A and B are shown apart, each in its own frame.
Chain A
Amino acid sequence: MNKKLIKVRGLSKSFDVRARGLLGKKHSILAVNNIDLDIFEGETLGLVGESGCGKSTLGKSVLQLVTPTSGQVFFEGVELNTLSKEELREFRQNMQLVFQDPHSSLHSKKRVKWLLEEPLIAHNIGTKEIREELIMDLIKVIGLTEDHLERFPGELSGGQAQRIGILSALMLSPKFIVADEAVSALDMSIQGQILNLLNNIKKRFKLTMLFITHDLSVCYYMSDRIAVMYLGNIVEIGVAEKVYKEHKHPYTKLLFSSLLTVDKEIDYVDIISSDIASEQIEGGCPFYHRCDKRKGKCLEGLPKMTQVDKDQFVRCVLYEEI
């Protein structure tokens, strides 16, 4: 197996929320709960989960765009949370983020060329000529032409704007990219084009990718390994093939059986599920309320990550004894 590019240890992030009005009691919500995660060089790790499960917060905490409450993130052995602001800024060249909605993440009053040059200027890279040459080269890689450089983001279609969003993340030649719902806002005939582009640049620039999505089919297609998140915890992680076809955690099962795809027959009677519980359970299995296999001992502390197969881990008491 390749070496670990990113090592996450005990990462937690909580947000303070005030209940009802100014005088309401403050309490905190644990968006990401004590996560250990390795991302290997050259792989695409897919991160799936429903809205509010903490997948975006995890992605942003790894990049230190959100300051974790506790825990460590190592990038090639460098502990990111010990870096000073200035050092971290310098280090950011190595890791970049691709956003969901290209039109709201690109500066609407600046031309495409400026948007692409800006990260290079910010990091003092090259002379004006070298930078321009680089941009001219790269714009073709993402399937656009020099004409597009003089346009404003508003003059681009959704797919074109997302290409620019991806390219601006690539300008500093990072090693690691977090793609947060990078194709979710796109029309269906454009989605495939952008997925192809992401795979293409991943090969060409030897990138490692954390691919965050709520779309299971897209996640399976893109990822080497998949991690499934539920209420701040990773409940299952493993090789994409295994998680997709031989998933073990009851939540992963529920997710995949709820998926309505073109090539699947569904038995509606078979699948019973309740609404997502947003409140967390003190110390127990986060999926307890919705689980059809729950037992008393599920409430005795957070289940441990248990290895069920080569490279497949599940957080469920049913597998703890194996």
Chain B
Amino acid sequence: MLLKVKDLHVAIGKKEKVKILNSVSLELDKKQVIGIIGESGSGKSMTVKSILNLLPKHGEITQGEILYKGTDLVKLSDKEMRKLLGSEIGMIFQNSMTALNPLIKIKDQVAEVIKTHNKNLSEKEIFIRVDRLLKEVNLPNIEVVRDKYPHELSGGQKQRVLIAIAIANAPDMLIADEATTALDVTVQFQIVKLLKSMLDKYDMSMVFISHDLGLIRHVADYVYIMYAGEILEKGDVLQIFKNPKHPYTKGLIRSLPEFSKKGNKIEVIPGRAISVHEKEEGCPFYKRCNIRVDSCKKLIKEVEIEDNHYVKCIKAGDRDE
């Protein structure tokens, strides 16, 4: 087990604390890709921010453990954490325009990550590695591209530079938060392809976060569905998409336009996702659920529905309508 998040609770706020994550547990094996699906405000980004110790100022882990190779990241000092980030853990974020420094040539931005974690390398050795990395992420004309500034590159190329930075020190774990969301379909496809080949080549594991069901379906091995700071369902990617059990997961998949016949109405989930502020006890999906019963207002426990497939719903075991 590479990463194990156990019963993580996170609260945020200056005076009044609002619980934004409620008992989140994740497991990431070696060479595995886990996907986290959720709408905005569901807590998917906060989950990885907790893992990376990048929570905003008034955010706080109130309970739980984050075990990375057996060490609890929650207990690490900032200095110890910085050592891990960029070397053992690589990160790719959504917006390549803001993730790169606009005033520094891209070769120097890639070099910086290598330098920080390999103090003994000479300048020459570092730039040999930079070139190798840029080549590996399939950037064209490296002799020219390495000397460019971020704004001179296309969106896809910038995303490639970010991937180069993320894998610069051959990490064991990649964390990608909406890494392809801002890209066009054809470019997104290439980046996904590149990510997959890098994972294979370096035996990396990845936590892949997205709101795009189709994307998760093609990238992840194991999937977590988040809603209002909780994980409502988790299972192997095929179990989740072929045999979803939670009414929310079912509703999400059913509301994809590709599953509705032209001219027919899309079967949608009524209402909107609640924010963590409005949360009451019991199932967070209660208000929008079409199979709710009174006992849903009490604490809902996770049940195993088939091998490795867990659902937080008391009605999930019932036969399908």
**Size category, A interface:** 35 or more
Give which listed residue, A187, A221, A261, contacts B273 with CB less than 8 A. Answer: A187
Q: How far is the CA of A157 from the CA of B275 in the complex (A)?
A: 11
With beta carbons under 8 angstroms apart, the residue of B154, B187, B241, B268 that contacts A262 is B241
- List A186-229 residues whose CB lies under 8 Å from chain B: 187-193, 195-196, 199, 214, 216-218, 220-222
A276 touches B253 (CB 8 A): no
The secondary structure that dominates the B interface is: helix
Q: CB-CB < 8 A to B196: which residues of A?
A: 268
Interface assignment of B266: CB less than 8 Å from any CB of chain A: yes
Q: B88-119: which residues lie under 8 A (CB-CB) from chain A?
A: none
B157 near A220: Cβ-Cβ < 8 Å: no
Range, interface on chain B: 35 or more
**List of B residues within 8 angstroms of A271 by Cβ:** 189, 193
A159 contacts the other chain (CB 8 A): yes
Could you say which residues of chain B place their CB within 8 Å of the CB of A273? 186, 189-190
B40 at the interface (CB under 8 A from A): yes
State A176–B260 Cα separation when bound (angstroms): 25
Tell me, in angstroms, the Cα distance from A269 to B215 when the chains sit together.
17
Residue of B nearest to A53 (CB): B184
Interface string of A238-277 (1 = CB under 8 A from B): 0010000000000000110011111110101001010110
Query: A51 interface residue, CB < 8 Å from B?
Result: yes
Least distance between B212 CB and chain A CB atoms (Å): 8
Minimum CB–CB distance for B123 against chain A, Å: 30
Q: How far is the CB of A243 from chain B (nearest CB, A)?
A: 13
Interface of A is mostly: helix
Interface members, chain A 67-126 (any B CB < 8 Å): none
Rounded to whole angstroms, the CA-CA distance of A199 and B193 in the bound complex is 36
Known contacts A157-B272, A273-B186; A196/B217 CB under 8 A: no
Q: Bound complex: CA of A34 vs CA of B272, how far in Å?
A: 43
Q: Is the beta-carbon distance between A189 and B251 smaller than 8 angstroms?
A: yes
| Interface 1/0 per residue, A284-322 and B, CB below 8 Å | 000000000000000000000000000000000000000
Inter-subunit contact A217/B266 (CB<8 Å)? no
Contact across chains for A218 and B272 when beta carbons are under 8 A apart: no
Report the separation of the CA atoms of residues A311 and B138 in the bound assembly, to the nearest whole angstrom: 40
The reply to whether A275 and B187 contact each other, CB–CB distance below 8 Å, is yes
A36 surroundings in chain B (CB, below 8 A): none
Q: In the complex, are the beta carbons of A259 and B185 less than 8 A apart? A: yes
Q: Does A41 contact B (CB under 8 A)?
A: no
In the A-B complex, the 4 residue pairs with the smallest Cβ-Cβ separation, listed nearest first, are A258-B189, A221-B257, A192-B255, A50-B184
| B contact residues vs A (CB 8 Å cutoff) | 39-40, 140, 154-157, 184-190, 192-193, 196, 211-215, 217-218, 241, 251-253, 255-260, 262, 265-270, 272-273
List 10 contacting pairs A-B, 8 Å CB cutoff, sorted by A: A50-B187, A158-B272, A188-B252, A188-B256, A262-B259, A264-B214, A273-B189, A275-B157, A275-B190, A276-B187
